[in-house]
Amino acid sequence: MKNDSLETAEIIWKLADLYDGPDDLKLEEDINNCEIQAAELKNNYDGRIAELTADELLTLTKSLEDLESVQGRISTFAFLNFATRTKDQTASAFLQKIKEFNSRVSRETVFFELEWNQLAEETAGKMLAADELDHYRHYLTSLRRYAPHQLSRSEETLLLEKAPVGRSSWNNLFDKVMGHLKFGKEQRSEEEVLTDLYSPVREIRAQAARELTDGLNSQLHILTHIFNTILADKMIDDRLRKYDSWLNAMNLYNELDNATVEVLVNEVTERYEIVRRYYRLKKDLLGLKELTDYDRYAPLPHLPEKKISWPECRRMVLDSFNDFSPEMAEIGARFFDEGWIHAPLIEGKRGGAFAHPCIPEVHPYIMVNYSGTLRDVSTVAHELGHGVHQYLAAKQGYYNSSTTLVLAETASVFAELLLFRAQLESLEDESQKKAFTCQKLESIFATVFRQIAMNRFENLIHNERRDKGELSAEQFSGHWLATQHQMFGDSITLGDGYGIWWSYIPHFISTPGYVYSYAFGELLVLALYNLYLHDRQKFVPKYLELLSRGGSADPYELLRPFGIDLNSPDFWRGGLKVIDDMLKDVE
């Protein structure tokens, strides 16, 4: 019924743009062709990388890119088909089938990366200097950053063989557990219960917190085992690949120096007092004697409470994009108009939201669980920011369109900020403006301070798993509460139930170390937005060019046109000062 009133019931993505279904003959044909092509590439090039000419290396790289693009099409279809049907055994079995197919193909083509990374620096340098390889130079160069962490061919092949029953399988189990889990007497979904934490009625919030805690407790033995398995899997992988710390692999993936991430984390934790000041203020604004964990997201008085229909959400988001760039709005409109979004709340659908880049030859897809709140509108803008970024970067091709996580989050957070500024300007009542600014501050806190606090939680659990062995649920909870207390101080009372809320956060399972990317993106966006306000005419084309370049260079080079030094503490302090100034305005 809620979907009908919000007009989201028919907002279902068109997976037919990929395949007509799991039984599509074209899909089976593509699977067979991939396996044939992989075998042919292995037969023609295995053992020969060192002797290839630049033209031959170009031909091979293009062939591998074409092959992986088809794999990407197949994998995207299987994942999206499962994402809205986590209780469907057929969809689950199909996803597992495709994971096993990808493992077989990768086993055949793994020779390329292994041989390429074994080349002497001088030999590789000469090959990379050839004009023919201009388009793939960054891709081929960045592959070599993994050379020190590469295993032997037999070891890499064995790992690929076992991958379908490894980490990704535990991710699937987590999704299934959370997809099947029902909360409270009304047997509601995780998304519905989490939405109640934003209710203006305190008892509803308290009830939602109790229901979430009780539901998680009912599966805590399984969730704890999943977490421990992921921690152990990463521990073994890092040890085999000789990574110095649990976070090094993620930093390498993001093409960031360890020092850059350390500066970011240190500067954010140094300003936790901003969070404490705000929540002390919020307690007074709400007229409460004590602010508890379930009061964190309580809306302030005068905040608009009206449910926003899907058509109104579309208008709000696209209008804010259009004020910045008509081109950005035109691309965004295609997601709404051409069936690239899945919006309704439905049984068995995965919680949260995401944007999937798919492959350049098709288009990105977006999934949200839309319940009509202002927060949901912001989520749509966030994911559409990703979508526009992925759409613009597609022209770089499959290899170069893939963007590091930190810059991917920059595009989404910038889109959120455009929406916020537009919404704020539309409000005339000063009390509403104040409440709305507070809501944005809370969103920024969730993106910057909360994510860094979660990074500190991950740091503790990964290191303790390595030093002392498997963790109990109580140990996980102890680390969770300790890192949350560091951020909140005495501004919020954290109940015992809140101690297990680490167990529903998918990022810890799917992408260990990922969460600092949100803080990176938010603080970078605040700096970029200041540049935009200073000179709008020059900024917009430079920003769209940044998005269009995708992953064709590392973050340092991509951000050079904006004069940003990611290793400077002053840069990160500048973004934190913007947050502090917003809070001072409210104070």
* pLDDT above 80 for 304: no
What's the average model confidence in pLDDT over 321-330? 97
Return the sign of the alpha-carbon dihedral for residues 136, 565, 460, 294.
negative
Return the sign of the alpha-carbon dihedral for residues 154, 156, 162, 164.
negative
* pLDDT above 90 for 414: yes
Whole-number percent of the chain with pLDDT over 70: 100
Q: What is the dihedral of CA 23, 28, 29, 33, to 10 degrees?
A: 170
- Please report the pLDDT score of residue 431 as a whole number: 86
Residue with structure tokens 């409210």? 586
* Count of Cβ atoms closer than 10 Å to residue 557 Cβ: 12
pLDDT digits (tens, 9 = 90+) for 497-544: 999 999 999 999 999 999 999 999 999 999 999 899 889 999 999 999
What's the token pair of residue 440? 């944005």
- Please report the pLDDT score of residue 163 as a whole number: 87
* pLDDT above 60 for 444: yes
* pLDDT above 80 for 305: no
CATH of domain 14-165: 1.20.140.70
- At a CB cut-off of 8 Å and minimum separation 6, what does 373 contact? 195, 198, 307, 308
* pLDDT above 90 for 374: no
* pLDDT above 60 for 268: yes
What's the average model confidence in pLDDT over 192-196? 92
pLDDT digits (tens, 9 = 90+) for 99-132: 999 999 999 999 999 999 999 999 999 999 999 9
- State the chain's mean pLDDT as an integer: 95
Alpha-carbon distance 92 to 87, whole Å?
8
pLDDT band at 310 (very low <50, low <70, confident <90, very high): very high
* pLDDT above 80 for 281: yes
Q: Where are the alpha helices (DSSP H) in 15-166?
A: 25-45, 54-83, 89-118, 121-128, 137-143, 153-162
- Please report the pLDDT score of residue 138 as a whole number: 96
- At a CB cut-off of 8 Å and minimum separation 6, what does 369 contact? 191, 343, 345, 349, 351, 352, 353, 376
> pTM here?
0.87
pLDDT band at 275 (very low <50, low <70, confident <90, very high): very high
- Please report the pLDDT score of residue 1 as a whole number: 53
CA separation (Å) from 394 to 59, 65, 352?
20, 13, 25
pLDDT band at 428 (very low <50, low <70, confident <90, very high): confident
What's the token pair of residue 397? 């091709």
* pLDDT above 80 for 303: no
pLDDT digits (tens, 9 = 90+) for 66-105: 999 999 999 999 999 999 999 999 999 999 999 999 999 9
